[in-house]
Amino acid sequence: MANIISRDPFEDILRGFFVRPVEFGNTPAEAPQMRVDVREHNDGYQVHAELPGVGKEDIHVSIDGAVVSISAERKQEKEVKEGERVLRTERYFGKVSRSFQLGQEIDEERASARFQDGVLELDLPKKQAAQAKRLSIR
């Protein structure tokens, strides 16, 4: 009769994890896509854009009619202490940008922006339609 040995696969995984060195793939960090929520209300639009790890001085917003463009740069901290060795860097550092067109032109003079906890919030009032002017005849 053959001897049957019962093994726990979970135990093998744990044993292998502590014995073998940790290996990482060679995939470089890809540029993340800026995640944006856009809501419309009667008077305008509200935009929330996730920009984790970005300083507010590194965010730029431009408005051209109904087109809104957001760009940001996340800068890499290059401080490596003596005796320290970087094994892997997966966080993305660099520039990201996003542009989108809204249904109506934006009133740039009344638009506002706030940045808190990694989220950019834009309040974008709709531009009022030009009122027809009636000319009086002399």
Q: What is the CATH number of domain 29-77+92-128?
A: 2.60.40.790
- Please name which of 101, 112, 108 lies closest in space to residue 127, comparing C-alpha atoms: 108
Could you report the per-residue pLDDT of 46-87, keeping only the tens digit for each?
A: 999 999 888 999 999 999 999 999 999 988 777 777 778 877
Q: What's the pLDDT tens digit per position in 13-57?
A: 555 555 445 454 555 556 668 899 999 999 999 999 999 888 999
pLDDT value for 58: 93
C-alpha to C-alpha distance for 72 and 70, rounded to whole angstroms: 7
Residue 105 to residue 44: CA distance in whole angstroms = 9
Question: What pLDDT score was predicted for residue 116?
Answer: 95
Q: Where are the domains of the chain?
A: 29-77+92-128
Beta-sheet pairing, 36-41 with 119-125: unpaired
DSSP element (H, E) containing 10: helix 9-19
Which percentage of the chain shows pLDDT scores above 70? 76
Tokens of 88: 């892997």
